[in-house]
Structure 1
Amino acid sequence: MKLFCIPHAGGLIASFVPLKRSLLGIVEVIGIELAGRGVKEKLPLYNTFMEAVYDVATDISEHIWHSPDESYIILGHSMGSWLAYEVYYQLRLWGIKGPEHVIFSGNNTPPTHFEERGIHNLTDEKIIESILELGYTNSEIFSNPRFRNMFLPYLRSDLEITACYAADLNRPCLDCDITVLYGLQDPLITEEVRRWGCISGGTCQLRGYEGGHFFIYEKTDEIALVVKQIIARIV
């Protein structure tokens, strides 16, 4: 079984290394790199949210192409949760078997209309300030000029495409169970988080954890336990 992990805006797959270690021998954890960073650093940044969706869906489809009957789970955090939602439909559109389970983390349900959030239009300092207020765990990256200059362009790009994204919630529900994870002190989470249950034709389990927006990277053991429980139900 495979677990595909999609990072937050500005995120790197390195964020999921601790989770991969915790699940070693239980499930194959595969981080999905987004354009402009890591192994895809030479690729242009996305112009639209759907470009990111196609890219992520392509990566996942390539991983499961040679084992189409193998079960898999998708986990997306923050922006990655909305990508996971759209990727589900993109894979089904391509005739590819859907995931057995989807884990949506650190986000409310997708917006149904365009809403200009504007954070990507702020100065670098204001963007950094906003990210740190959310409890960003790798804050030292901003004190290193080299990393800061490398990180900010794709963070700003991710924020822009997310601000210009609106979902079609009139599509058929996901035909799998879902789990929703969120930080109890995350200022971005509202009562809307409970509406994730409306998009699944299966069960929806909500789990709140102590911590802010980036709780998932601080609660590795707890998240690994959730994944193990999900796998136990699938197999």
Structure 2
Amino acid sequence: MITLFCIPFAGGSSYSYRDFQAHLGDFIEIAPLELQGRGRKYGTPLQTNIHDMADGLYNQMQEKINGRYAFWGHSMGGWLAYLLVKKLTQEHKQLPEHLFITGCEAPSVENRRRDRHKLQKNEFMELLKKYDGCPAEVLQNDELMELFEPIIRADFKAVETYEYEPPATLLNTPITVMRGLKEEISYRDVLMWQDETVHKIKLLQFPGSHFFIYEHILEIGRIITDSLTL
């Protein structure tokens, strides 16, 4: 059995990957990790520092490692997964067999989005509509947005204040990177993941925008399964 640790995107929770379990090989078990302030940890203080987030996830996954494992992170979750592998490398711990990154530029790419978490409410709502990851019924529900808006703003701040530090040594973990052809992340932005690992990365592109993963759930499940085949 291989444990696939799934790491939330901005505004996401441990429930964000639940539909993928049915499309993975029966030797893969999803183990969703939870950030503070949402899902199973709703009510705990939100974090706005990506390194603090990674440390919390590190403690969670250490308790759940039981043999072979891999990471999957979408968007912000991709950077968190990367920071986890860096920390595991520094601590001389067992490394994941594979790192799956979706909808996420390489951490070394110059951060071009630094002020989204400071936007006025109406501008912030318009931004969320463009990412098509938040259902219209949620965006139009004031009570629900009172719950979700602080979470997304905190996550955006964590991403936008992150300062890249090159790894002391390149990661010894294979990386598969997937990108939506219509999202604002360029091919070059994702190709730069090659600078982080000693392995040749696998780069795949799909029709769709930032949340293409839900439109291609069958194919992505197959790609992960084939990559982790026993």
* TM-score category, normalised to shorter length: over 0.9
Total equivalences in the alignment: 229
Instruction: Give 5+ residue unaligned stretches, structure 1.
Output: none
1:176, distance to aligned residue in structure 2 (A)? 1.6
Partner of 2:61: 60
Q: In structure 2, do the counterparts of structure 1 residues 149 and 189 end up closer, same or farther at CA, with 3 Å as the change threshold?
A: farther
Q: Residues of 1 paired with 2:199 and 2:108: CA distance?
A: 21
Q: Residues of 2 paired with 1:195 and 1:226: CA distance?
A: 21
Give the share of equivalent positions with the same residue, in percent: 29
Deviates more, 1:219-228 or 1:121-130: 121-130
SS in 1 for 2:15: helix
Question: C-alpha offsets along residues 3-36 of structure 1, whole Å, 9 cap, x if unaligned?
Answer: 0111211112222111022226231101111110
SS in 2 for 1:181: strand
Partner of 1:214: 211
Alignment TM-score, normalising by the size of structure 1: 0.91
| Partners of 2:109 and 2:192 within 8 A in 1 | no
Partner of 2:166: 169
Q: 1:230 corresponds to which letter in structure 2?
A: S
| Partners of 1:185 and 1:213 within 8 A in 2 | yes
Q: What is the aligned-residue RMSD (CA, Å)?
A: 1.7
Q: Residues of 2 paired with 1:16 and 1:47: CA distance?
A: 22
SS in 2 for 1:14: coil
Alignment TM-score, normalising by the size of structure 2: 0.93
Q: 1:157 corresponds to which letter in structure 2?
A: A
Partner of 2:43: 42
SS in 2 for 1:182: strand
Q: Residues of 2 paired with 1:197 and 1:212: CA distance?
A: 22
Q: 2:145 corresponds to which letter in structure 1?
A: R
Deviates more, 1:123-132 or 1:30-39: 123-132
Q: Residues of 1 paired with 2:79 and 2:115: CA distance?
A: 18
Partner of 1:117: 114
Misfit runs of 4+, over 4 Å: 112-116
| Partners of 2:109 and 2:189 within 8 A in 1 | no
Question: C-alpha offsets along residues 86-133 of structure 1, whole Å, 9 cap, x if unaligned?
Answer: 011112333321101101110111146776610000012212211221
Partner of 2:70: 73
Deviates more, 1:132-141 or 1:163-172: 132-141
Listed as ranges, the matches of 1:198-209 within 5 Å are 198-209=195-206
SS in 2 for 1:172: coil
Partner of 1:128: 125
Q: Residues of 2 paired with 1:26 and 1:222: CA distance?
A: 17
Listed as ranges, the matches of 1:178-189 within 5 Å are 178-189=175-186
Q: Residues of 1 paired with 2:185 and 2:192: CA distance?
A: 15
Instruction: Give 5+ residue unaligned stretches, structure 2.
Output: none
